[in-house]
Amino acid sequence: MRAAQVKAIGDLPEPVELDEPAPADGQALIAVTSAALNPVELRVAAGRMPGAIAPYVPGLEGVGTIITSSTLPAGTRVRFENDLPGFGKDGALREIAVAEETALLELPSSVDDSTAAAAGVVGVTAELAFRLAGMQGEERVAVLGATGGVGQMAVQLAAVREAGSVVAVGRHRPRLDWLRANGATASIDLTEPADLTEILIKAAGGPLDVVVDALWGAPAMDAIEALAEGGRLVNVGNTAGTEVELPLQAMRKARSSVVGLSSGWTPMSEKLDAYRFVIGQLAAGAIELNVDRVPLESIGSAWSRQAQFPHTKIVVSLV
C-alpha cells in the first residue's frame, strides 16, 4: 500500500510502502482517493507541538469509498476526519485508511473528491466561526486573512448568509480580486500601510458586527476597535503574531467580545453538521474552492509549498 510517512520529527513526509491497516471496533476501512493538507499538520511534523512521535502517516482528513463499515454499504463515497495524526495514530495520506464510524459523512455525487477533501477543515472552521458569532443577515462582516483557505471560505459563507457587507482583508492581490467576484463587497490590501480601523469602517459601510480573524496580532487589534455595539470577533488563527495589547477601552465602550475557536477541539457532531452545510453550498454552486491537486509522489514539495501559506488548497491524490 502506498502512503506518505514522516519518518522523523523535523523531516518532510515521503512516499513509502506500508502494510494495510486493520479496522478496530467502531472503525470503517476506506479506499482513500484524496487527502487535504492543513497547517496544523506541518506544526506537528516540525516538532512545534509537544508529544508528537514518528514515524507516522500524516493526513487529518480525507475522502474515499467505503471498503468495510458497520453503518454504510461498500462503495459509498465519504469524507472523514480523525484525531490529529502523529500522537500515536496514523492519518489519511495512504491508499487504505481507517476512520471512526462516527466521523463519516456521505458525499453528494455533484462534488468531486478533491473538492470535497479541500472543503473540510477550512469550511468547517469558517462555518463554525459564524455559528459561534451568532451571525444574523444584513450584518457587516470582515474577514482577516481572507486570502487563506479559511478566509476564502468565510468570505463566501458570509455572502451566503446574506451579510450586509463583506470586507476581505489580506496580502495577496490576485486572490483579493477573486474574492471581490465571489462574495466580498470590498477588499483591503494589508501590504499598503494605512489606518486599518478607519478603512475597515469605511469599507464595511459602518462599524463591524462580525469579524472572522485568521491573523491575530496588530490587524485583529485594529479590527476590535472597528467593532460595532455588541460586535464579535472570532479568532481562528495567529499568523500575524500572538503578543498583543487588547484595546480594552474600545471593547468596554462597545461591549464587544473576542472568542477563540479551534475546530480540533470541537465535538465531531458539530463539525459534521457544519461540513454538511458547507458541502451543500458547494453542491448548489453557491461557493467555490481554489484547489491544487498533486500526486502522492510530490508530497515533499507539496508540504514545502503549504508552509509558504499558499492561496490555494493543496490536495494530495492517491489514485
Quick one: 65 and 111 in the same domain? yes
Give the pLDDT confidence score for residue 282 in this predicted structure: 98
Using alpha carbons, list the distances in angstroms from residue 62 to 161, 187, 223.
27, 32, 34
Cα dihedral value 134, 137, 139, 143, nearest 10: 70
SS3 312: coil
The CATH number of the domain holding residue 214 is 3.40.50.720
* Residue at 277 is within a domain: no
Quick one: 196 and 80 in the same domain? no
Quick one: 247 and 140 in the same domain? yes
* Residue at 284 is within a domain: no
Give the pLDDT confidence score for residue 221 in this predicted structure: 97
Quick one: 255 and 310 in the same domain? no
Neighbours of 51 (CB within 10 A): 8
The CATH number of the domain holding residue 80 is 3.90.180.10
Give the closest residue to 166 by CA, choosing from 150, 180, 149.
180
Quick one: 89 and 126 in the same domain? no
pTM of the model: 0.96
* Residue at 283 is within a domain: no
Residues of the chain with pLDDT under 70: none
Quick one: 250 and 201 in the same domain? yes
Quick one: 210 and 144 in the same domain? yes
Residues 31-78: pLDDT tens digits?
Answer: 999 999 999 999 999 999 999 999 999 999 999 999 999 999 999 999
Give the pLDDT confidence score for residue 194 in this predicted structure: 83
What is the enclosing helix (H) or strand (E) of 124?
A: helix 120-133
Q: Hey, which residues does 316 pair with through a beta bridge? A: 35, 294
SS3 118: helix
Can you give the residue range of the structural domain that contains 45? 2-119+289-317
